[in-house]
Structures are given as C-alpha cells and as structure tokens.
Structure 1
Amino acid sequence: VAKAKALLAEAGHPDGFDTQLFAMNTDPNPRIAQAIQQDLAAVGIKASIQSLAQANVIAAGGDKAGAPMIWSGGMAWIADFPDPSNFYGPILGCAGAVPGGWNWSWYCNKDLDAKAAEADSIVDPAKSGERARMWSAIYGKIMEDAPWVPVFNEQRFTMKSPRMGGADNLYVDPVHIPINYDYVYVTDVQ
C-alpha cells in the first residue's frame, strides 16, 4: 500500500483520484469488482462500480472515453490456440486500439508491433526457440509498460474417473464450445 501511494504521488495524484470500474453484472464479477474497489480505496483511488450487461461493458471498452477501468474477467477471452501471439494482436496491438476494438487499455507500441510481426513470421519449427524468446521479450516489455493490471492467472485441473466414458481429450476442457458434455457419460449407471 505504501509503495502504491508513493507511485500515485509520483504520478501527480498524492491524494488519489476518482474513477469508474466497469464489470459484467453476472456472478462472481460484481463481487470481484467490489474486492478490487476495496484494494483501490486503500491507496486513495475511489472507484465507483458500473455493473452492466456484458455487451455494455464491451461497448464501453471499445470507446476511448467509455471506460477508464474494466474488470474483464468472465468475458470469455481465453487462449483459444496455444501460441504466444494469441493475445497480442487484438487486445494489446495497435490494430486493436481503435473504436470498437478489444484493446481496451488503448495500448499501442509501434516498435512492439514490428517485433510481433517479425516473431510471427518465424514459421520454421527448427526456430521455435528463437520465436518463443522474441515473444517473451515482447510480453516482458508490455509488463514494463503496464497497460494492464493482472489480477490472477487461472489454472484449471480436470480429472476423469474410471467410471467415465468418452474420449480422453474431451476431459481436457469438457465445457469447450461446442459443449462436449454430449459425448461424456457414465459407464456404470446405477
């Protein structure tokens, strides 16, 4: 708390400031937003919560003057393919920092965009280590610039009982879209 207050003072806000925190209005998001609100209040930031339907939060995020802060948890932005480029373009790259875009921090670093394009151009599997190092450096720079405040990094565990039937790969993410519950079943119905 003391370090956060010192950084706020250094940034010209010795007494904190007032702002708005937008969050989707379905549980548990309003409760998470309240916890964030309490943490912010401890350092002098008074955030009023705007608990809205998901579409309204998305619309506010896509308007540069629309939402100064967004708790985006639960908005279905997941790593839908296992590659470091997955998040960069739409939510951190300059191309996403446009009205209606998903780069809600409006972060744009043209040097990193060029490095991201260079990293993405590496398609030779023998150079995958080089590509991974480039992406690691890109994300390291983004963390230095701090356009986001990461709250947590989810880790999921899925277990399968011997009583359960269905292909093993369905159990990696049984709630994947389309819903795979149709293909998961119990083998010894009682």
Structure 2
Amino acid sequence: RTAELIQEDFAKVGVTVEIVSYEWGEYLDKSMEAGRDGAVILGWTGDNGDPDNFMGVLLSCASAQPGGANRAFWCNQEFSDLLSKAKQTADVAERTKLYEQAQVIFKDQAPWATLDHSTQYVPMAKNVTGFVMSPLGDYTFDTVDLTE
C-alpha cells in the first residue's frame, strides 16, 4: 500500500512509477545490487540507542560498499567524517552536535525519502506492572512484577 501511495503522489507531478514486487529474500538481494534501477522501501529499528546504529550502519560511505546496508549507495565524505568524529568522543554534547550536523547534510542531499516510524505493540496481562516499552525494540524485565 505504501508503494501505491508513493506512486499516486508521483503521478500528481507527472512522474510515472512502476511497482515491482518480489519474494522477500529476492527483494533483499535485489535491493543490494549496485546500479539497480529504482528505489526500495525498507524499515529499520535501531537496537542499541546509539545514533550511529542508524546513520553509520545505513548511510556511511563504508556501508555503501558491497556487503554494507547502505541501499541508497550514497556516499558523502563530509557526512561520514562527522559520523567518525562522533563515534570517537564520549562527550554527549559534542556527539549530539556532530550528529546534528550530519543530519543537516542528510536532509540536504536526501538520499532517502523518510516516510514514518512504526508503532510497536506489546501484549500485556493486566497483572503485569513496571514494564516500560523501549523505543529500541528490546525488553528489560528488571522492573517488572506480577500482582495478584
């Protein structure tokens, strides 16, 4: 459905878009083909809370190489240099500044069209207390208890 909505938006500005679907494994393989024709739609959930787990893994020059996860095959050296500097400092304010600068480059260059953020659900029994859902997709149970 997402591809259909994108197709409709492009049609409004006179661009024809063909939607092509593949079996999931083949789709992932084709999405990593250098020089492929067309865009891909994928999601990502960072699993450790560090900004580099998103930007570095998915957008750095190193991840644009074969075997990397940069499916846009986008490489901006200034962007990657900022990520490298950010990874090398433990100063939170400095890291934040560097990642914010990198985000400006990302938005200016627009190697992706960011669409949305998934809604996550965790089914829970009524007698469970103290559970806090993490935005990272992991579950910590050290604060969880059961009431009667």
Could you state the TM-score of these two structures normalised by the residue count of structure 1? 0.64
1:105 and 1:149 map into 2 onto residues whose CA distance is 11
Which protein shows a greater Rg? 1
Deviation at 1:167, TM superposition (A): 5.5
User: Are 2:6 and 1:36 equivalent residues in the alignment?
Assistant: yes
Q: Where does structure 1 differ by over 4 angstroms across 4 or more consecutive aligned residues?
A: 155-161
Q: Which residue of 159, 165, 181 corresponds with 2:128? A: 165
**Runs of 5+ unmatched residues, structure 1:** 1-30
- Tell me if the contact between 1:105 and 1:147 (Cα under 8 Å) persists in the aligned partners: yes
Match of 1:137 in 2: 101
Paired residue type of 1:79: G
- Residue in structure 1 matched with residue 21 of structure 2 by the alignment: 51
Contact 2:82 2:101 in 1 (8 A): no
Mapping 1:24-103, distance limit 5 Å: 31-73=1-43, 77-103=44-70
C-alpha deviations, 1:70-108, integer Å up to 9, x for none? 1214xxx20111121111222100111123432111110
> Number of residues paired by the alignment?
143
SS of 1:135 mapped into structure 2: helix
- Over the aligned positions, Cα root-mean-square deviation in angstroms equals 2.9
Q: Which letter maps to 1:141?
A: I
- Provide Cα deviations, 1:40-94, integer angstroms capped at 9, x if missing partner: 1111221111111222221112112224211214xxx201111211112221001
Segments of 5+ residues of structure 2 without an aligned counterpart are none
Aligned-residue identity in percent? 25
TM-score normalised over the length of structure 2: 0.80
Q: Which has the higher contact order (CA 8 A, sep 6+)?
A: 2
Q: CA deviation at 1:138?
A: 0.6
